[in-house]
Amino acid sequence: MEIEIRKAEREDLPAIIGLFADDLLGGHGDTTEPEAFGVYLSAFEKITASAHQTLFVACIGDEVVGTFQTAVSTSLPGRGSSSLVIEAVQTREDMRGRGIGARMIRHAIAEARERGAAKVRLTSNAVRVDAHRFYERLGFERSHFGFKTQVK
């Protein structure tokens, strides 16, 4: 099974949205309803216009079976080093356990090397216990607590 990782294209957007809409654990309220497409398209255009963010898809043949996003963040601590942040990792449910997620994460780590990042960071929803084991198998260590709030 050949897995291709490439930058997402506009034509991939319905499949990417479908991956998130099918995710019952995420709790993000994603939907494939046609009236929501505009907000996804707007976000896609912002991501693809950014020099610091990249949206990827994992494909088998012409079929999108996974997605993830990367962003490079530079901060003063660590002597001004950069981190590559991995976000929105999603593998189609019926394709899990086939090495697609590992391939996506390895691709992101390779991108971090190419972009001169000192480390790779990611966060994972606290309820995703299987995902936590997956990331640990790939060499990630638990290191921080995450917090969030809604902006009103």
Residue 152 covered by a domain: no
Residue with tokens 């990367």: 70
The parent domain of residue 127 ranges over: 4-137
CB atoms closer than 10 angstroms to residue 16: 22
pLDDT at 150 over 90: no
Confidence of residue 112 (pLDDT cuts 50, 70, 90): very high
Q: What is the mean predicted confidence (pLDDT) over 81-104?
A: 95
Residue 151 covered by a domain: no
pLDDT at 106 over 80: yes
> CA–CA separation, 149 vs 90, rounded Å?
23
Sequence letter at residue 46: K
pTM reported for the whole predicted model: 0.92
Residue with tokens 């809409």: 21
- CATH code at position 86: 3.40.630.30
pLDDT tens column, 24-36: 776 678 899 999 9
Residue 148 covered by a domain: no
Q: What is the pLDDT of residue 27?
A: 64
Report the side by side order of strands in the sheet with 4-7.
4-7, 53-60, 63-74, 82-91, 119-122
Residue 77 covered by a domain: yes
DSSP structure class, residue 66: E
Residue 150 covered by a domain: no
Residue 17 covered by a domain: yes
DSSP structure class, residue 18: H
| CB 103 within 8 Å of CB 91 | no
| CB 32 within 8 Å of CB 23 | no
Work out the angle between the directed axes of helices 37-49 and 13-21 (0-180°, nearest 10).
110
Share of the chain above pLDDT 90, in %: 80
Residue 144 covered by a domain: no
Number of domains in the chain: 1
